[in-house]
Amino acid sequence: MQQRRVGGTGLQVSRLGLGTMTWGRDTDEHEARESLIAFAEAGGTLIDTAAGYTDGESERLVGRLIGDVASRDEIVLATKAGVSRRSGERVVNTSRGHLLASLDASLQRLGVDHVDLWQVHTWSSQAPLEETLAALDRAVSSGRTSYVGISNYTGWQTARAATWQEAGPGRTPLASTQVEYSLLNRSIEREVLPAALAMGLGVFPWSPLGRGVLTGKYRGGTPVDSRGASPTFAGFVGAYLDESSARVVEAVARAAEGLGWTPLEVALVWVRDRPGVTAPIVGARTAAQLRGSLGLEDKTLPTELVRALDDVSQRSA
């Protein structure tokens, strides 16, 4: 799999990343193991997790598999801090103390002494930005991470954070930002993507398949074994089960039919090859689903199809 540099840094990652949000809940250890084997065999290197995924179980499972299934030296390990669950409620805390304590807990769960990329999971106005970013500097200076990034920041938040990190001695420039981006949600093209390009940040799109909707599996209804049928993710998926999204899904399906591809391949290649994108994060629930995303290396969308998909998805831009 082709490797790409992350923004203006020397860090290189595979141009598809493996997301692990469901590991330890919807994805058991057997499926996780098979997924990681398939990903590594395809040349994938970037594994993305977070302290807040499945109450830390995702990190624990990743930690058990690294070194067993794939060599630590061949993996680019990324995690996040700042979001957790308490009594079922989402809790955001980006204070310096909480972030650093969360990183230490992540390292323990992962069974490593450092991660390659540590990201602030979301913006919060409850802590000063300078305090949040100081935690990133401390994490690098203490050897607990090699690179740092942000996630789910707006355009102005991205520019402010990146500018601050470049403004003084002892600060570590941001390497990346992780944001939702797909044919069903192109909103980052207005401000976030221009800010990332201007500030030299790599972009990791999450949910590049429109929360699974772009695969076409919801065209005839909601499959009982899908995320859309899960109480945990029904609302998350349902946001894209409207008429506007359906038109985009049909256009993707027609393009796939004409190319002899799957809708998944069309949607994923489209976002993978957008300007500024480093690596879409593919969060397959099963190894079989993941394998459908790993045969894209030699695929490129014809220019006329890119234009057509751009036109039909313009409302999401």
Q: What residue spans define the domains of the chain?
A: 3-209+274-299
Residues annotated catalytic, as ranges:
53
Cβ within 8 Å of residue 252, ≥6 positions away: 183, 214, 216, 263, 266, 267, 309
User: Which of the four pLDDT bands, split at 50, 70 and 90, describes residue 186?
Assistant: very high
Report the distance separating Cα 91 and Cα 85, nearest Å. 6
CA gyration radius, the chain: 19
Pick the CATH number of 3-209+274-299 from 3.30.70.920, 3.30.565.10, 3.20.20.100, 3.40.50.2300: 3.20.20.100
Q: What is the pLDDT of residues 52-67, one digit of tens each?
A: 999 999 999 999 999 8
Cβ within 8 Å of residue 105, ≥6 positions away: 51, 56
Report the distance separating Cα 139 and Cα 100, nearest Å. 7
Across the chain, what does the average pLDDT equal?
Answer: 94
Higher pLDDT, 109 or 229: 109
- pLDDT (mean) for 262-279: 98
**Beta strand pairing call for 76-81 and 46-48:** parallel
**Under a CB-based contact definition with an 8 Å cutoff, are residues 253 and 280 in contact?**
no
77: β partners: 47
Cβ within 8 Å of residue 300, ≥6 positions away: 269, 273
Confidence at residue 274, expressed as pLDDT on a 0 to 100 scale = 98
Confidence at residue 224, expressed as pLDDT on a 0 to 100 scale = 61
The answer, yes or no, to whether residue 216 has pLDDT greater than 60, is yes
**Taking Cα atoms as reference points, which of 155, 4, 12, 176 lies closest to residue 80?**
176
> Tokens 């490129």 label which residue?
300
Q: What is the pTM of this model?
A: 0.95
Q: What is the pLDDT of residues 141-171, one digit of tens each?
A: 999 999 999 999 999 999 999 999 998 788 9
> Tokens 């057509």 label which residue?
308
What amino acid occupies position 192?
V
Q: What is the pLDDT of residues 86-130, one digit of tens each?
A: 767 889 999 999 999 999 999 999 999 999 999 999 999 999 999
